[in-house]
């Protein structure tokens, strides 16, 4: 029963344009080229930076992807579109995003959309985005650290599916995203087994900065979806609630590109140190025992109180460097007088009337270079 309901839900979730707005033809050198269906005009970029790709997925389908290269880009945007569009309709938007955001852009059609083979389904969209990500890695050398995933509407499903698997991803953008497929048509608070695109569960696994964009007057996917995703994101970026915005017209508002540019710029300039500082508080580090913190100079093990940092011994004859946290170790006579510290492995004299060094050289470096003159005891 669950599989039947899931199949029916998929039918209501996907509306590929029919006929497709573009076709794939082959040049004389076997290179694929995309042309508009209506007038057979090729989809081209003035800079000639468009690559038309045919990718095989693990589901056995062959999908179409467009890669637009920006020579000034530092990051790459992987765009997953909504449920009623294909690459032909989005091509002009891709050109604008590539130029205004100064990014490389990869867009793709789901199985059953545009010139891609197969039928659209939740599992197929997951296989589709995984194939595109693999292509970015192998063909263009894009690592997850330099990748931003962008998901619009239904595209938020495959976007969060991949983002949950990439812990070092640079960023995620959810444009009119959904909590789940079933929550779009009815307000349910629990996740049912036959639901599709359970983003409500996957958003919690995303570790990178997440920008949520949603229109306040969205009649297809209520603003509650965007607000819910933003609240559940681990590293939520300042959201953009476009006043009066609907479901398919947010790109027309000037604050859309302005806010998106600021997000991309911050993702470009964010450093590894900043990213680690956000991750570090979530790590469970072993706690130091109270005894070691309170009595730094009474170490039982040599240098046990400062196992991380040590300094070089001033005396070459000292078998190991003194510790940093023991205050006694900074005294000039540590290697001679302070046997309780254990920083050096000098054996304590067996007799009680040992005479200590008197020369300034011994007191300064702590060595036994002049032990014949300063120490008259032979019980070492």
Catalytic residues: 153, 218, 247
Distance CA 128, CA 45 (A): 24
Cβ atoms 223, 248 nearer than 8 A: no
Residues forming beta bridges with residue 35, ordered by sequence position = 23, 42
Cβ atoms 156, 181 nearer than 8 A: no
CA-based nearest residue to 135, from 202, 203, 57: 57
How many beta carbons lie within 10 A of that of residue 355, not counting itself?
Answer: 10
CA dihedral 243, 249, 255, 257 (to 10 degrees): 160
Cβ atoms 110, 155 nearer than 8 A: no
Cβ atoms 112, 124 nearer than 8 A: yes
Chain Cα centroid distance, residue 197: 21
Distance CA 310, CA 272 (A): 26
Chain Cα centroid distance, residue 184: 28
CA-based nearest residue to 100, from 243, 267, 264: 264
Distance CA 298, CA 305 (A): 9
- The SS3 call for residue 363 is helix
Can you spell out the DSSP letters for 37-95? Answer: TTT--B---TT--EEEEEEE-TTS-EEEEEEE--TT-SSEEEEE--TT--HHHHHHHHH
Residues forming beta bridges with residue 22, ordered by sequence position = 36
- The SS3 call for residue 147 is strand
């Amino acid at each position: 029963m669950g599989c039947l309901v899931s199949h029916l839900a998929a039918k209501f979730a996907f509306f590929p344009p029919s006929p497709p707005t573009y076709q794939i033809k082959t040049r004389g050198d076997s290179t694929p080229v995309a042309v508009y269906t209506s007038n057979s005009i090729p989809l081209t970029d003035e800079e000639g930076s468009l690559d038309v790709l045919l990718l095989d997925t693990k589901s056995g389908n062959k999908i179409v992807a467009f890669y637009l290269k920006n020579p000034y880009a530092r990051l790459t945007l992987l765009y997953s579109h909504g449920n009623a569009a294909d690459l032909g309709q989005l091509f002009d938007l891709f050109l604008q995003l590539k130029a205004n955001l100064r990014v490389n852009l990869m867009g793709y059609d789901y199985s059953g959309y545009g010139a891609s083979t197969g039928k659209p389904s939740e599992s197929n969209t997951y296989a589709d985005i995984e194939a595109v990500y693999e292509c970015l890695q192998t063909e263009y050398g894009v690592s997850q650290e330099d990748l931003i995933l962008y998901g619009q509407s239904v595209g938020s499903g495959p976007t969060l599916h991949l983002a949950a698997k990439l812990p070092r991803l640079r960023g995620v953008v959810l444009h009119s995203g959904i909590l789940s497929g079933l929550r779009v048509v009815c307000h349910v608070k629990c996740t049912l087994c036959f639901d599709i695109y359970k983003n409500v569960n996957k958003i919690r696994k995303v570790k990178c900065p997440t920008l949520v964009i949603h229109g306040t007057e969205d009649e297809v996917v209520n603003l509650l979806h965007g607000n819910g995703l933003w609240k559940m994101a681990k590293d939520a970026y300042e959201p953009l609630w476009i006043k009066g915005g609907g479901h398919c017209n947010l790109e027309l508002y000037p604050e859309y590109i302005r806010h998106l540019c600021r997000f991309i710029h911050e993702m470009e300039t964010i450093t590894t140190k900043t990213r680690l500082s956000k991750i570090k508080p979530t790590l469970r580090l072993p706690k130091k025992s109270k005894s070691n913190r309170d009595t730094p100079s009474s170490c039982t093990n040599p240098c046990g109180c400062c196992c991380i940092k040590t300094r070089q011994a001033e005396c070459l004859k000292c078998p190991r460097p003194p510790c940093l946290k023991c205050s006694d170790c900074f005294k000039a006579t540590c290697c001679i007088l302070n046997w309780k510290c254990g920083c050096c492995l000098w054996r304590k004299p067996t007799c009680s009337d040992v005479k200590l060094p008197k020369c300034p050289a011994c007191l300064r470096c702590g060595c036994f270079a002049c032990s014949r003159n300063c120490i008259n005891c032979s019980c070492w």
